[in-house]
Amino acid sequence: MRFANLQGRAVLVVTDADGVDRAVDIERASDGRLSSHPSVYVDLANHPLLEDVAAGVSAGAWPVLDPALLGAPVPNPPKGLGVGLNYRTHAIESGRELPTEPHLFGKTNNCVAGPFDDVIAPAGRDEIDYEAEVVIAFGRTCKGATEADAWSYIAGVTAGQDISDRGEQFRLPIKQFTIAKSYDTFGPTGPFLVTPDELADKDALELTGVVSGEVMQQANTSDLIFSIPALVVWLTQFMTFGPGDLVWTGTPGGVGEARIPQRFLLDGDVIETTVSGVGTMRNRVVVR
């Protein structure tokens, strides 16, 4: 199943006979058994009923989905974390040793933005960088997951950006990763939350990051140093996760800071982030 947040309402996205995406309003299609809030589809307890709704839907009866009206599929995550250096290419370009365990930082919920929202780069800060990522959303309470059951806790996968102010991230004496990656709008996600069963191979997702027409990043999650199940195992040994918690799973090589010459985001740049089976986000950079 594919889910989306359409102007604050939870929708199931279905494709009609002509290949056009339609927005099925979950509250109406379930006759009120499920609420209209997007949190409804990130809770795996509701998925059996959502499967029933999906099976009974006549796609053509629902309005054509207007992507411009989409918000973040998980608009207010209880918590958000990001993984640093999780692709060899990015560890190497950063001049760092390959990590032997995941490096985590926080992405606070104020940073979450929609798939077509503007990214606001604060004026006077000239080292704002892009990071294309795959983002996972937990769907049920999880503590002490195993590699074998890790995916069973995940409600869905989406595309994300881990926008970073490198100037702040590496400013001495204390490197403020969490602050530098959690400014308002620094965590766009979307366009859809896609259940793992819907993906051709959930452990081999193609990830592409394009800035103003130039392909900057390209990778496959099969190249992750710590796979999605490995991250779930590692994280849940320390912390309980639950429905709506998000993890940005890391970015591959090609970030602006590591390029020669460096390529930071400029006013008017358009960042396109694509995950296979999920779709493409398009975020404009606005300096203000």
Instruction: Count the alpha carbons within 13 Å of 197 in the hemisphere toward its beta carbon.
Output: 7
Our CB check for Zn ion shows the closer of 162 and 257 to be: 162
Minimum distance of Zn ion from residue 73's CB (angstroms): 18
Minimum distance of Zn ion from residue 235's CB (angstroms): 15
Instruction: Count the alpha carbons within 13 Å of 210 in the hemisphere toward its beta carbon.
Output: 13
Interface characters, 232-251, with Zn ion (x: CB under 5 A): -------------------x
> Considering the rule CB under 5 A, would residue 127 count as an interface residue with Zn ion?
no
Distance between CA 276 and CA 207 in Å, rounded?
A: 7
67, 192 Cβ separation under 8 angstroms: no
The piece of 17-25, 28-36, 104-112, 129-137 that touches Zn ion (CB under 5 A) is 129-137
Minimum distance of Zn ion from residue 261's CB (angstroms): 22
The piece of 155-163, 166-174, 234-242, 266-274 that touches Zn ion (CB under 5 A) is 155-163
Using alpha carbons, select from 80, 173, 189, 179 the residue that is nearest to residue 125.
Answer: 179
Q: Say which residue the tokens 């996972």 belong to.
A: 136
Interface characters, 11-50, with Zn ion (x: CB under 5 A): ----------------------------------------
139, 243 Cβ separation under 8 angstroms: yes
Our CB check for Zn ion shows the closer of 75 and 84 to be: 84
CA angle, 74 as apex, 20 and 215 as ends, to 5°? 65
| Interacting positions 80-99 with Zn ion (CB under 5 A) | 82
Our CB check for Zn ion shows the closer of 80 and 114 to be: 80
Q: Which residues pair with 82 in a beta bridge?
A: 105, 248
**Quick count: other Cβ atoms within 10 Å of Cβ 46?**
22
| Interacting positions 159-178 with Zn ion (CB under 5 A) | 162
Query: Which listed residue (131, 168, 245, 269) binds Zn ion by CB under 5 A?
Result: 131
Residue 72, CA distances (Å) to 102, 111, 185 in order: 26, 11, 11
Minimum distance of Zn ion from residue 53's CB (angstroms): 35
CA angle, 159 as apex, 212 and 126 as ends, to 5°? 45
Q: Please state whether beta strands 246-248 and 80-84 pair in parallel, antiparallel, or not at all (unpaired).
A: parallel
Our CB check for Zn ion shows the closer of 36 and 94 to be: 94
Residue closest to Zn ion when measured from CB atoms:
162
Our CB check for Zn ion shows the closer of 5 and 251 to be: 251
Please tell me whether the peptide bond between 77 and the residue prior to it is cis, using omega within 30 degrees of 0. no
Distance between CA 164 and CA 91 in Å, rounded?
A: 16
Q: How many residues bind Zn ion (CB under 5 A)?
A: 4
Minimum distance of Zn ion from residue 84's CB (angstroms): 6
Minimum distance of Zn ion from residue 259's CB (angstroms): 16
Binding residues for Zn ion, rule: CB under 5 A, are 82, 131, 162, 251
